[in-house]
Amino acid sequence: MKKSSMLKVEGVSVSYGPVRALENISIEVDRREIVALIGANGAGKTTLLKAILGVQKVQSGKVLFLGDDITNSSTDKVANMGLGLIPEGHLVFSTMTVLENLQLGAYHNPQDFNDNLENVFESFPVLRKRIHQTAGTLSGGEQQMLSIARTLMSKPELVMVDELSLGLAPKVVSEIFDILGDLNNKGYTILLAEQNAKKTLEFANRAYVMETGRVVLQGLTQELMSHPEVRRAYLGSNV
């Protein structure tokens, strides 16, 4: 059976002024997959996600989403097409309530608001209790949950998460990974960018390993986990 490709990045290069951050990157995400981008700090993961979403300008190459060329399209248009990014640092609108954050997430998807809200609360019950609380007063883990929930309110086709685990306690991280697993079972396609390679490789189906703006390795996560280079550089093993 031929798998349907959801996101296709073809030979994309991005520079910040004279500094090249991505060099001829190609990745692909198929429907219902969990794909990981792993690599050290500064490898270019965030830049790639921003380039996909149109926040960062692409110098050459192409980004295709559901068959449409979205290279350098405006971010609100791309988001409206079903691309959701949960940015690094569990960002929320901290002066607004949990409910207002979720309402903002539903900007492009105001119909069925109550049903979507119910679904999101099923995945993140803690948010239901905090619904009228100011988002800035939530714990880091709760803010990350709100950030994911806010993205889900737009019913995205593809959920991209940048540094899910950064700054969160391991227990909270496991909890959020479990929830993302459930979401994947419900049909969501997920692209994760993570420095925390071990947990991510255990969770994802496929992964791309990035170093200084290039993809240096790619494949199924089971295979990558036994790859000597990956074990040495990312899994802290001395084999």
Instruction: Tell me which residues touch other proteins (CB under 8 A).
Output: 53, 55, 74-76, 78-80, 84-85, 87, 91, 93-96, 100, 103-105, 107-108, 110, 150-151, 154
State in angstroms the smallest separation of the CB of 157 from ligand ADP: 23
Q: Where are the beta strands (DSSP E) in the chain?
A: 5-16, 19-30, 34-38, 60-65, 68-69, 83-86, 158-162, 189-194, 206-211, 214-220
SS3 94: coil
Helical pair 113-123 and 98-105, crossing angle rounded to 10 deg: 120
Tell me which of 29, 33, 44, 79 binds ligand ADP, using CB under 6 A.
44
Give Cα 203 to chain centroid, integer Å.
13
* Count of residues in the chain: 239
Tell me which of 6, 12, 21, 180 binds ligand ADP, using CB under 6 A.
21
Distance CA 197, CA 190 (A): 16
The residue whose two tokens read 């980004």 is: 63
* Number of residues located near ligand ADP, criterion CB under 6 A: 11
State in angstroms the smallest separation of the CB of 167 from ligand ADP: 14
By the rule CB under 5 A, 46 interacts with Mg ion: yes
95 binds, among other proteins, Mg ion, ligand ADP, none (CB under 5 to 8 A by kind): other proteins
Are residues 43 and 209 in contact, defined by beta-carbon separation less than 8 angstroms? Answer: no
16 binds, among ligand ADP, Mg ion, other proteins, none (CB under 5 to 8 A by kind): ligand ADP
The residue whose two tokens read 């640092």 is: 89
Q: Which residues contact 237 (CB under 8 A, 6 or more apart)?
A: 231
21 binds, among Mg ion, ligand ADP, other proteins, none (CB under 5 to 8 A by kind): ligand ADP
63 binds, among Mg ion, ligand ADP, other proteins, none (CB under 5 to 8 A by kind): none
| Beta carbon nearer to ligand ADP, 47 or 116 | 47
Tell me which of 12, 27, 46, 189 binds ligand ADP, using CB under 6 A.
46
SS3 110: coil
Distance CA 219, CA 222 (A): 8
Query: Which chain residues interact with ligand ADP by CB under 6 A?
Result: 16, 19, 21, 39, 41-47
